[in-house]
Amino acid sequence: MDKTKWVIDPMHSEVQFKVKYLVISTVTGSFKNFSGGATTPNGSFNDAEIHFSLDVSSVDTNLEARDNHLRSADFFDAGNFPHISFQSTSFTKVHDDQYHLFGLLTIKGITKPVELDAEFGGFATDIEGNTKAGFEVSGRISRWEFGLTFNPLSKTGGMVLGEDIKLVANIQLVQEETSLA
């Protein structure tokens, strides 16, 4: 069986998250440093193995004080848990360009199964002759399940932060090699 290895092209990829603030508006953040890839069987992404790692210290919400708070023990505890990681357990084509991605997400040393949706954008060849593949991956997780429970009350007694985190990753993969397994 032929296997193809792919790596994330960080210059053409992004990983974002969104959380409700005061439960009335949304704050968007991203991780600037990440790595990962995929191994595909028989030239198809169906049943691919997918993995990635995010550098927690690279969190960016466009506000330095908030970013430093997110790195602290109140949230990600970057000093003790420098990475967020994901390892797929299955990647299955649902129809056309739609896939379901199941896997294990680890945040702050807590590993939980997650289900994400992935939309395949197609293949292309860049100006240097590299074969590329694109995906938009999205889903929702409960931050509380991963120990991200910091949530002081607002002055009116309401929650400051919502429980759900929306995840959106636009990923461009570059083909590295094909081998016979």
Render pLDDT for 120-176 as a digit per residue (tens, 0 to 9).
999 999 999 999 999 999 999 999 999 998 876 545 555 678 899 999 999 999 999
DSSP letters of 5-17?
Answer: EEEE-GGG-EEEE
Residue 32 belongs to domain with CATH number? 2.40.128.110
| pLDDT tier, 77 (very low <50, low <70, confident <90, very high otherwise) | very high
128: tokens are 């240097």
For tokens 């990475």, the residue is 83
The amino acid occupying position 180 is: L
pTM of the model: 0.92
Count of structural domains, the chain: 1
Contact 89, 104 (CB under 8 A): yes
User: Which letter does DSSP use for residue 152 in this model?
Assistant: P
Expressed as residue numbers, the domain containing 119 is 2-180
User: pLDDT tens, 17-35?
Assistant: 999 988 789 999 999 999 9
Model confidence at 43, pLDDT cuts 50, 70, 90, reads confident
DSSP for 19-59, written as a single string: EEETTTEEEEEEES-EEEEEEEETT-STT-EEEEEEEGGGE
Tell me the pLDDT tens digit for each residue of 101-128: 999 999 999 999 999 999 999 999 999 9
Q: Cβ contacts of residue 98 below 8 Å, gap of 6+?
A: 117, 118, 119, 120
